[in-house]
Amino acid sequence: MTRAAHRALKGHKPCVVWFTGIPAAGKSTIASLLQTELHSFGVHTCLLEGDNVRQGLNRDLGFDDSDRVENVRRVAEVASLMAQAGLVALVALISPFKEQRALARGLVGEDEFIEVFVDTPLAVAERRDPNGLYRKARRGEVREFTGFDSAYEPPENPELRIDTTRSDPQEAAGSIIAELGRRGVLTLPQLEPVVARLS
């Protein structure tokens, strides 16, 4: 089966939208909202999110640097296979290292890879802290936590940068949908109702 055959069946181009950012930046929230909007008018999607892949595919991995690298590599391989099958794969991972995000881009291909940097100040992410991990990290109960004793390398040239101090999740999803339109993943008839709902 060719990519063209998959595209003809699904009615849209495949791609990988790769969300990166520190813990509690809002990656999964934006990705989930985007998935719902895309699904509403027939785009075939799959969401690979940090928590769900760690419960299954990557449950054997820890959180030291080598395991973080392997976590990203495995998810990138799966996302690439999904794109080959014609899906829009949404990946929401901290993916802290530039080298591993570049590896993911290389596996998927430049034309089908959209890096979205969910740019949230540490203080804002720490206030959100839905799982209490920042509090545990400050008490020394969680080791190798990104932003404390494990590095996060922000993207230098992402396709999109979402400043969550200025954009809410709906606005963020709208900007990604607009980018999908510019890239021809979505057609104009698909694009118009979603942008209208999110604007």
- Distance between CA atoms of 30 and 171, rounded to whole angstroms? 9
Tally Cβ neighbours within 10 Å of residue 174.
21
Beta bridge partners of 115: 18
Q: Which of 95, 167, 175, 199 is catalytic?
A: 95
Judge whether 36 and 88 are in contact, CB under 8 Å.
no
The verdict on whether 95 is a catalytic residue reads: yes
Tally Cβ neighbours within 10 Å of residue 51.
9
- For the chain, give me the number of helices (H) and strands (E)? 9, 5
- Distance between CA atoms of 145 and 140, rounded to whole angstroms? 10
The single residue listed with the structure tokens 């080298």 is: 99
Judge whether 22 and 154 are in contact, CB under 8 Å.
no
Tally Cβ neighbours within 10 Å of residue 175.
17
The single residue listed with the structure tokens 């794109």 is: 83
167 CB-near residues (< 8 Å, 6+ apart):
175
Residues labelled catalytic: 95
